[in-house]
């Protein structure tokens, strides 16, 4: 039999196509891009948007503060956290009732203390870095290239998402929550109005105590029953945080509408859905409270950011 002639052009084209596909995947999901260090933002602008690890470790209170801590509660002169576990919809749901003395105690933390695409870490490690008392996963802003992102008073991204009626959660200087649509107000205008945090995931769950999602509503790429994370306001400086398990034999997970029902049951006036699924994590005083699921296993997924409370 004669030797087969090698088509070098086809071979080269195949290799080039494969290399391009691999690079595209790495560029989209792995390679960090457009990185802005949070501690550098603070240094350059004077913003109180966060603190470096050194600043955090050196910070001390002038007076000894009485603190009462149990496995599910924390009470100091400036922060109160009480966590209850309930069963609804064949799912374990964790509900944290949180009160703070100042809106400055509700903060955002970034993976590796940096804003950028594909910069990720676990909720636990980010919370430990910022010496949080209580933390949940945020909106995973790094999974997208658009959507408003404001963290601790600094506006990192002001580009609108492609769907015009996307809803964001705005936290103001006085601790008040508001749900806005990106096509109705600019990020710059929100900053001028006193916004200190803007999260762009959604949808909004409650406004004026009323459910604003449909029973069949769902976020993109999501199953109906899922682990979920939500944050809500009863009144300024008094918040409810809910994280549900899901995707396991013990916990089916809940829908967006069921999540809204839980937030309403606990008296929220305003409530908002954050990133869910494998991202959903509640962390308290050094321990993960819920059972996060990632790729079929009970483990934390790495995320871009967290919402946390400190004393």
* Within a domain: 237: yes
* Within a domain: 294: yes
The answer to whether residue 82 scores a pLDDT higher than 80 is yes
The answer to whether residue 262 scores a pLDDT higher than 80 is yes
Residue 280 domain boundaries: 8-309
User: Residue 49: its pLDDT value, please?
Assistant: 43
SS3 of 123, please? helix
* Within a domain: 55: yes
The answer to whether residue 29 scores a pLDDT higher than 90 is no
SS (H, E, C) 44-112: HHCCCCCCCHHHHHHCCCCCCCCCEECCCEEECCCEEEEEEEEEECCEEEEEEEEEECCHHHEEEEEHH
Tell me the mean pLDDT in the region 50-61.
Answer: 39
> What is the spatial distance between Cα 243 and Cα 303, in angstroms, rounded to a whole number?
15
* pLDDT level of residue 35 (50, 70, 90 thresholds): confident
DSSP string of 179-195, one letter each residue: EEETTTS-HHHHHHTTE
Tell me the mean pLDDT in the region 174-201.
Answer: 97
Q: Given phi > 0 = left and psi -120 to 50 = alpha, else beta, which region is 267?
A: left
Task: Pick the more confident residue, 36 or 213.
Answer: 213
Tell me the mean pLDDT in the region 263-279.
Answer: 97
* Within a domain: 255: yes
SS3 of 156, please? strand
The answer to whether residue 34 scores a pLDDT higher than 80 is no
* Within a domain: 267: yes
- Residue ranges in 130-244 assigned as alpha helix (H): 187-192
* Within a domain: 1: no
Who's near 224: CB < 8 A, 6+ residues apart? Answer: 218, 255
Task: Pick the more confident residue, 47 or 9.
Answer: 9
Q: What is the pLDDT of residues 203-250, one digit of tens each?
A: 999 999 999 999 877 775 555 789 999 999 999 999 999 999 999 999
Sign of CA dihedral 222, 223, 228, 230: positive
Who's near 117: CB < 8 A, 6+ residues apart? Answer: 32, 33, 34, 142, 145
> What is the spatial distance between Cα 155 and Cα 174, in angstroms, rounded to a whole number?
18
Average pLDDT, the chain: 87
User: Residue 283: its pLDDT value, please?
Assistant: 98
* Within a domain: 2: no
What is the number of domains present in the chain? 1
> What is the spatial distance between Cα 128 and Cα 130, in angstroms, rounded to a whole number?
5
Tell me the mean pLDDT in the region 119-146.
Answer: 97
* Within a domain: 20: yes
The answer to whether residue 20 scores a pLDDT higher than 50 is no
262 phi and psi angles, rounded to 5 deg: -65, -45
> What is the spatial distance between Cα 43 and Cα 51, in angstroms, rounded to a whole number?
9
Cβ 167 vs Cβ 178: under 8 Å = no
Show the tokens assigned to 181.
């649509």
């Amino acid at each position: 039999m004669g030797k087969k002639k090698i088509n070098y052009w086809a071979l080269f084209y195949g290799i080039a196509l494969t290399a391009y596909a691999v690079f595209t995947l790495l560029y989209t999901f792995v390679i960090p891009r457009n990185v802005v260090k949070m501690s550098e933002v603070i240094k350059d602008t004077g913003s109180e948007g966060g603190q470096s690890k050194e600043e955090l470790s050196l910070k001390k209170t002038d007076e000894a503060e009485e603190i009462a801590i149990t496995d599910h509660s924390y009470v100091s002169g400036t922060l109160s956290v009480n966590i209850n576990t309930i069963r609804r919809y064949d799912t374990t749901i964790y509900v944290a009732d949180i009160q703070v003395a100042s809106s400055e105690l509700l903060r955002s933390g970034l993976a590796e203390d940096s804003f950028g695409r594909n910069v990720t870490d676990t909720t636990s490690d980010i919370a430990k870095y910022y010496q949080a008392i209580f933390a949940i996963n945020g909106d995973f802003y790094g999974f997208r290239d658009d959507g408003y992102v404001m963290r601790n008073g600094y506006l990192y991204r002001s580009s609108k998402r492609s769907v015009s009626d996307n809803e964001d959660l705005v936290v103001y200087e006085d601790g008040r929550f508001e749900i806005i649509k990106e096509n109705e107000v600019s990020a710059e205008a929100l900053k001028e109005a006193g916004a200190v945090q803007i999260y762009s995931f959604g949808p909004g769950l409650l406004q004026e105590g009323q459910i604003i999602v449909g029973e069949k509503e769902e976020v993109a790429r999501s199953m109906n029953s899922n682990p979920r994370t939500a944050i809500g306001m009863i009144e300024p400086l008094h918040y409810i945080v809910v994280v549900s398990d899901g995707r396991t034999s013990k916990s089916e997970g809940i829908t967006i509408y069921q999540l809204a029902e839980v937030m309403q049951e606990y008296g929220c006036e305003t409530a908002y859905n954050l990133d869910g699924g494998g991202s959903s994590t509640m962390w308290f005083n050094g321990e993960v409270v819920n059972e996060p699921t990632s790729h079929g296993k009970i483990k934390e997924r790495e995320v871009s950011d967290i919402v946390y409370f400190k004393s």
